[in-house]
Structure 1
Amino acid sequence: MTTIDLNSDLGEGYGVWTAGDDWAVLDLVTSANIACGAHAGDPTIMLATARAAVARGVAIGAHVAYRDLAGFGRRPVHVTPDELHADVVHQLGAMAAAATVAGGRVTYVKPHGALYNTACADPVQAEAVVRAVADVDPSLAVLALPGSELLAAAEHHGLRPVAEAFADRAYEPDGSLVSRSRPGAVLHDPDEVAARVLRMVTDGTAIAVDGSEVRVAAESVCVHGDSPGAVAMARAIRELLTAEGVELTPFAPGATTP
């Protein structure tokens, strides 16, 4: 049977501010990338989201980022490799503690926003991120774009590299993501997104913005939790994949149901 993981960026509120319907999304996905306080999230939200993930048997990932609350982590930040290493160590420690208190554990790491984009392309930034992950817990997997510097660094450090595809983001012909600054970069129609994911999972391909076919073979598919239609998209994806005989399961299980 074909299997696939469905991940989502969650816990991205801060204080009284919320982003998306996390509890509804958690009912549909199999892995949760939980914000660690740098681009979003705070101690209360991190712990509550980890508890909700554990209660549903959803795997917990640390969604590390540049320290950029004002920009939601989507702006490039100039930091030295040692500063970035320390930032990732700090965020991983906080998320690991929250997951432990919730009765689960962190099983993988996925950078967020500008850090994801930069580290996927820049070997220096990728090395700093992955070195931090390896120093904290070498059993953790690293989730990123296929063929990226992040996955190459993960493999170099003996960590499990896990390639992901994006349900709700448009692709360039080279397999990179279309910049959010361009029209059409983010997709919104649940049925269109679900059909696109089915093609990714069964054929390993997607249609790029120029109409060409691009390879997107992956072990996990991301639907962004802060998108207005996140719940509808995740539900449409789950229903269509299930109907087509595809099993949704975490690529790195580790949640413990109380």
Structure 2
Amino acid sequence: MAQPFEDWYKNLPIVTKLYMTGCVVTTIGVYLELVHPLQLYLNFPLITKRYEVWRLVTNFLFYDHIGLNFLFHMYFLVRHSRLLEEGSFRGRSGDYLFMWIFGASLLLIINAILFYSKLYTSSILFLAPSMAFMVVYVWSKRNPNIHISFLRLFTFSAPFLPWVILTIGYLFHHSLANDILGIVVGHIYYYLEDVYPTVSNRRLLKTPSILKSLFDNNNHALDPDQQRHAPVANWAQPEQQQQQDQQQQEQEPVAVNE
């Protein structure tokens, strides 16, 4: 039986739920013409000269007008964000929110450098796709043993997922600037959070205590050393779960009526 939308939405982890809600509300607002994308996009001159500081946030909340592209981005983002928050960030939503804040801040800094240095002539108006790509990249690096089937044509391991998406975008002449930015920022976070502490025994990224106190669920929290090896939610691996259930049923004793 299909899971009711209310139950599905209620069971979403807090950070994933908040971001998805913000994106949906923003997109509906654009659809109803309550707000225009020109009021949302990232524009540094308007931010610095007219103090339209909300653009620093709203450019992360709009993907596209309601349609197939928007639904695809929402599905892809929510799926992998939920896997990440319920997996390696289980019980540590404060740390997960800090990852988003770190990623968003770094994306803004890089975009500002590109804008003012004229290194990239085409302005990136919305950084929401870059955030989605960052989430997918971090998830893929933390789940190297997961195998993904693409339209049942070929199978590859999770770390190749960002590059497969990038290749498909290139074949369809999609602009790759957002995706590449997401990969760069995702790799920086992955290196600082997962790689650097293992080689230096130091952590450069520390979540503010206020985020931990507001969002963390310590009853289900994982130790930092366990986070990159956390199990993935069962619903993300339907084939493996079905095989496990079948094996369990075969091992259970069968009652025989005499």
Shorter-chain TM-score: what band? under 0.3
TM-score (norm 1): 0.25
> As a proportion of its length, which structure holds more strand?
1
> As a proportion of its length, which structure holds more helix?
2
